[in-house]
Chains A and B, each alone.
Chain A
């Protein structure tokens, strides 16, 4: 009854088309990574929506080949309990209606004055020095450093408290890395942009910024003064939302932010490539002790480490024996990517005291960072390194690859 040949060919062609489109996302090497760094009012879902909005705007503002050379990631900052505090402190007035709380919170309904006041009060009361700690930033900074080491430019779009995180992260990069790190500042609650008065966009109608300015009047930490005005009313009562106020279609602020994004992409220096990028990468850094070694057992059974730099799938393209690292393993392309498990292991080869290893693994869209205490150099050996993490690679239903990273 059926033309089997047609169906088989269709399946094959369909499969190939989907595989291409899916695999392209993770297999293509990108030249620039644009991160979005959220403020403390944004949940991860909202931050991800903001990142997609940036992506959509840049798609229409850049030549296609330039847009395709950019990857978009999210450097998610914790909310420090602000949404929960707001929920707990307003739920009685809302007579237990949590759906209404969320509709106010996300600007789906105009929030009443008392709700807005409560939100601004909570945001202003947070201690800035406790918001941003080196510990809360370590994954972000580690990722920025790795990307720059791979020869990529890094641009952070920072919104609200995301500016505090961005400025702090910048201070933790070395001077060479700083040349390839840029920040587009939106609703800046800090008093600078990467240590200077670089361009920023804060709305005149932003009630949160004005409240913070009032709360810190006379202090050097006072936020930078709003410098942009949008015509017309926004659905966002506080005027602080990245999507609803700052990136509102056709607004002055959206045009200005997009313009600053394009300018920043042009101005960043392309860093020298220290390690090779890839579809799977493992970076190992540690402290001042001389030598911690990275071992990767590929699915084919090959052990890749300082004595055997090249596997069938990937390679150890950087070995370090003088402290700090990085050591770096990469599977450079999807062509040599194998299905199965890549076992990552460590050997504290040489040192006089306890050490802490930081292992950063990227596989497809996944990024994981682990801190692993190394009590002494009896931890593992060249022949029997200690297992640290695993990367599972399997084919996806639509022809690409699926990844899992686990310990």
Chain B
């Protein structure tokens, strides 16, 4: 049922627009349930009134229909209420459907895409030199990403959730490459993960993906042991032939849906 959300338009506006919508939506969600309401107007009316007043608390409700019809903000509220409260629609509440415009508050979006922590306060501490002691490094929160790399991604790309998600996919592939490629067969298998992660990043950033991924790799290969392990993995790939997807199918290489993510 998660796929429903993937069909929706994701041409969301900027951050301010989203925040404003979230405020309005919070007010909308405070309304009583829609069960037992009569016709369309009966369903929409209270929602829109409350939405308009949440949008601008100073606006007095005269009780007249003109109150809503005349105000352009009311039109936006009508749209919002239709989207959010109609039976059968995907709402931002826990309903088994992730609404793409409310990724931050819809509980159904919290498992898709993978959660991330762009803010410094929620990041694991910098492991420092201790994080360089082993090939695998330190992953204190067990998310599969080394703590230093988790911090690098979050702090370097705080404004792009899809970039962070793509780089985590890329990091997981690198991790497999250096830790789980003891022979040629495993290296050949793991390089497919790395290739798909690169295609996903390319889908998001086009040619800039090259620099973004190289910068990440320079951070990831931050010890001699890790650099040697990666070169050892790469040496097992020499002489082979590799296919690639068509450009217009690169999105399918992502392990998440980047189109569901606004850049914040």
- A residues in contact (CB < 8 Å) with B: 1-7, 10-11, 13-15, 18, 21-22, 24-25, 28, 35, 43-45, 48-49, 51-53, 55-56, 59, 68, 71-79, 81, 83-84, 87, 91, 96, 98-103, 106, 108, 136-140, 143, 243, 362, 364-369, 398, 400, 404, 406-407
Contacts and interface: CB of A to CB of B under 8 A. Distances in A.
Contacts of A102: 214, 217-218, 221, 227
A103 B218 contact: yes
Contacts of B116: none
A83 B188 contact: no
Please provide the 3 A-B residue pairs with the shortest distance between their CB atoms, ordered closest to farther: A3-B88, A78-B238, A365-B243
Interface of B: 1, 3-4, 6-7, 87-90, 95-97, 185, 188-189, 191-192, 194-195, 198-199, 202, 206-207, 209-211, 213-215, 217-219, 221-224, 226-228, 231, 234-235, 237-249, 251-252
A40 to B, nearest CB: 10
5 contacts: A6-B89, A15-B3, A48-B195, A48-B242, A367-B240
B249 A25 contact: yes
B249 A21 contact: yes
Contacts, number: 180
B243 A24 contact: no
B214 A73 contact: no
A99 B218 contact: yes
B198 A49 contact: yes
A75 B88 CA distance: 51
A7 B3 CA distance: 8
**Looking at chain B's contact residues, is the secondary structure mostly helix, strand, loop, or mixed?**
helix
Contact of B1 (A11, A53, A79, A100): A11
B205 to A, nearest CB: 12
B242 A74 contact: yes
Contacts of A78: 235, 237-239
A139 B240 CA distance: 6
A407 B189 CA distance: 13
B88 to A, nearest CB: 2
Contacts of B199: 52
A108 B215 contact: yes
A43 B236 CA distance: 11
B235 A45 contact: no
A98 B226 contact: yes
B239 A73 contact: no
Given A3-B89, A78-B235, A99-B221, A365 B252 contact: no
